[in-house]
């Protein structure tokens, strides 16, 4: 193999690795947030691709003879990377869904702020939980596990082979349902609190029809809800982190 062939092989392998890793990092929690400058994300993706290329070069396919085959290979790798990043992002959005449910139960549903992640208006408690989960993912080292899981996808989805689309769709649907289930489990105390508080106010309104019960009780609802959130926040975050670790560890089997 001459120098020209050696360089072309290395460039092909690098682009194959970068196609999967770069597209996944674009969506990963913390790395792919909208407030992270695009240049930083690009430099990080290039660095990780350069570091992982020697370890997975043996599993990469040979250089195709036609440009069409090369394009298909890149599209497959980009699709696998987007799938992995979407899985991590869907799990993370469970925390924001939990925050929206909490805001509805404690009377803060109309308190909307700009979400730096999605660039949309969202409940203030949802943005708080979303930012807190990203911080805790990095603080507990789950970001390293996520990157290891990304490298492990090469054993689950070999490079150059189209993944089984039925299994991919089933796993994505299961992650969506699991994310919603995690959000409901995190907000279980607030759902009970909201029901009990609403029933109590309804009974009080029946006993005193002339009293503006819901107007008077709104500060009490907000204060009690924030107190409950302060008490339950640690358990909620521990449950979310264990759920995130459990679902990301599926990809570590091949790493």
Looking at residue 118, its pLDDT comes to 63
Cα 188 from Cα 184, distance rounded (Å): 6
Looking at residue 254, its pLDDT comes to 47
Cα 179 from Cα 175, distance rounded (Å): 6
Longest dimension (CA), the chain: 92
Looking at residue 252, its pLDDT comes to 82
Looking at residue 255, its pLDDT comes to 42
Looking at residue 2, its pLDDT comes to 55
Cα 106 from Cα 223, distance rounded (Å): 8
Looking at residue 243, its pLDDT comes to 92
H-state helical runs in 107-212:
124-139, 142-156, 165-186, 188-207
CB 99 within 8 A of CB 107: no
Say how far residue 243 (Cα) sits from the centre of its chain: 12
Looking at residue 236, its pLDDT comes to 92
pLDDT along the chain (255 residues), means of 10: 61 86 89 84 89 83 81 89 92 89 83 68 83 91 89 86 87 91 92 87 78 76 88 92 90 64
């Amino acid at each position: 193999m001459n120098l020209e062939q050696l360089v072309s092989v290395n460039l092909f392998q690098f682009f194959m690795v970068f196609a999967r890793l770069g597209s996944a990092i674009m969506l990963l929690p913390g790395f792919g947030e909208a407030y992270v400058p695009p240049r930083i994300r690009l430099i990080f993706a290039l660095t990780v691709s350069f570091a992982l290329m020697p370890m997975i070069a043996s599993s990469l396919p040979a250089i195709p003879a036609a440009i069409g085959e090369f394009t298909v290979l890149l599209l497959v790798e980009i699709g696998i990377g987007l799938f992995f990043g979407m899985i991590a992002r869907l799990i993370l959005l469970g925390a924001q869904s939990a925050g929206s449910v909490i805001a509805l139960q404690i009377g803060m549903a109309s308190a909307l702020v700009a979400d730096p992640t999605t660039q949309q208006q969202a409940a203030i408690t949802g943005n708080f939980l979303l930012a807190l989960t990203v911080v805790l993912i990095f603080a507990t080292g789950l970001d390293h596990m996520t990157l290891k899981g990304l490298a492990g996808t090469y054993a689950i989805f070999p490079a150059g082979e189209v993944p089984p689309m039925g299994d991919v769709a089933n796993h994505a649907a299961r992650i969506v349902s699991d994310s919603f289930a995690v959000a409901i489990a995190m907000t279980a105390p607030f759902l009970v609190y909201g029901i009990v508080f609403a029933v109590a106010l309804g009974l009080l309104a029946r006993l005193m029809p002339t009293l503006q019960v819901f107007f008077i009780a709104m500060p009490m609802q907000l204060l009690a809800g924030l107190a409950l959130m302060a008490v339950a926040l640690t358990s909620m975050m521990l449950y979310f982190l264990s759920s995130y670790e459990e679902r990301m560890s599926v990809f570590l089997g091949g790493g």
